[in-house]
Structure 1
Amino acid sequence: MVKPLKLILASAMSLLFSTACSGSNKVSTDANDNQTKNKTTVMAKDGKAIVVFFSHAGDNYAVGNIEVGNTKIVADYITELIGAEQFEIVTHKYDGMAYTPLIELAKEETRKGELPAYEGDVDLSQYDTVFIGGPVWWGTYPQVMFTFFKKHANDLKGKTVIPFTTHEGSGLANCVEDVKEAFPGANVTKGFSIYGHEVRTEKAKVEKWLKTLGY
């Protein structure tokens, strides 16, 4: 796991609920349906970009007990392919939990709007583009990501924000809308979603998506 305050350059780096939970806000959307259909340049290629993400290792739906979370694998692809840096939103609240109790905890956190603490932080002022990624837990991102959103609500004005998700059937769910609400001054693009069970073998899908963004 990447330590939370460490920004990683691409040269150093080579899923409703899976992580994706099945929730009441389930939307059946294939990953390709969520990609931008027409190539659109969202930033200059030399602009500075960062991938902010939460990823859950351990017991995950469809892929079993994994050492590296599905979303982290996608974040690492982005880092490698476009030279972005990273900030991983890390909490130990879910460590070691089996799938079923974790589903119930995620459901309760979403219902209550809880904001779990995360470790470290990052200065977003130096970045032009911010990718935001995570699994879909009960129709949106995990609540710990909303803790980050609240803290940085005013930090992404005028910046390009690109949401992405890993899932097992929920697609983007409400994630894009929730990012737009969290960062009203940002230019939030269409999102990208990919099945958690595909991330280890379908790097090409991530690369294809990035090309639609002008990379």
Structure 2
Amino acid sequence: MSTLIAYYSRADENYVNGQIKVLPVGNTEVAARMLQELTGGDLFKVEQTCPYAKDYNTCIAEAQADQRRDARPELKAYPGSLDGYDTIYLGYPNYWGTMPMVMFTFLEHFDFTGKTILPFCTHEGSGLGGSEKDIQRLCPGAKVEKGLAIHGGGVAAAGPAIKKWIEK
């Protein structure tokens, strides 16, 4: 069986270490690529059909509106099947204490029974929030392992922490 690294990440304007910065690659994607190097797993980027705005303040308003109305944004694509995977690393930024709603869309699309899910998130101070519980609720047949919270502003130096986490 193989490993899948499914992640949602956002480039463009982001809040990093107390400032708005333009990121050419989102923090969660940086972490996902590190995981791929360490595990050899397949990468799948979860993308919305209608992405949030590039401007940070507009983006957070859009994302928060989606969360308030419990939206399920449409995805551009899905992996054809998860049948060949027994381990799934699930990556996302922390949006108001949980995953972005696009990750809810992704998780509700598949049956994760018998799979092991290892969540990882990037954040600017709020850690994993309640995302692990949300994943357990959305994927009742899966084994959801302890997740890893990575400070977004320090993601470039997160390699050793990621390696230690996957070796557990």
Q: TM-score range by the shorter chain?
A: over 0.9
For residue 104 of structure 1, the aligned residue among 41, 52, 61 is 61
1:58 and 1:206 map into 2 onto residues whose CA distance is 24
Q: Displacement, 1:96?
A: 4.3
1:120 and 1:49 map into 2 onto residues whose CA distance is 19
- Matched positions, count: 164
Q: Displacement, 1:91?
A: 1.9
Q: Give the secondary-structure state (helix, strand or coil) at the position aligned to 2:66.
A: helix
Name the structure 2 match of 1:62: 16
- Aligned residue identity for 2:166: L
For the aligned residue pairs, the C-alpha RMSD in angstroms reads: 1.3
Deviations 1:147-185 (CA, angstroms, capped at 9, x unpaired)? 111111x2x101111111000011000110010001000
TM-score by length of 1: 0.73
Q: Which has the higher contact order (CA 8 A, sep 6+)?
A: 1
Name the structure 1 match of 2:3: 49
Q: Does the CA-based 8 Å contact 1:51-1:133 persist in structure 2?
A: yes
Name the structure 2 match of 1:30: none
Q: Displacement, 1:94?
A: 3.2
1:149 and 1:191 map into 2 onto residues whose CA distance is 16
Counterpart check, 1:192 vs 2:148: yes
Taking only the aligned residue pairs, the percentage that are identical comes to 35
- Aligned residue identity for 2:154: E
Q: Where does structure 1 differ by over 4 angstroms across 4 or more consecutive aligned residues?
A: none
Larger radius of gyration: 1
Name the structure 2 match of 1:117: 74
Q: Give the secondary-structure state (helix, strand or coil) at the position aligned to 2:34.
A: helix
Instruction: Report 1:1-150 matches (<5 A).
Output: 47-62=1-16, 64-91=21-48, 93-122=50-79, 123-150=81-108
Q: Does the CA-based 8 Å contact 2:52-2:59 persist in structure 1?
A: no
- Aligned residue identity for 1:206: I
Q: What stretches of structure 1 of length at least 5 have no aligned partner?
A: 1-46
Q: Which has a greater percent of helix?
A: 2
1:208 and 1:181 map into 2 onto residues whose CA distance is 27
Q: Displacement, 1:201?
A: 2.3
Counterpart check, 1:203 vs 2:159: yes
Name the structure 2 match of 1:38: none
Q: Does the CA-based 8 Å contact 1:106-1:138 persist in structure 2?
A: no
1:164 and 1:52 map into 2 onto residues whose CA distance is 10
Q: Give the secondary-structure state (helix, strand or coil) at the position aligned to 1:185.
A: coil
Q: What stretches of structure 2 of length at least 5 have no aligned partner?
A: none
- Aligned residue identity for 1:163: P
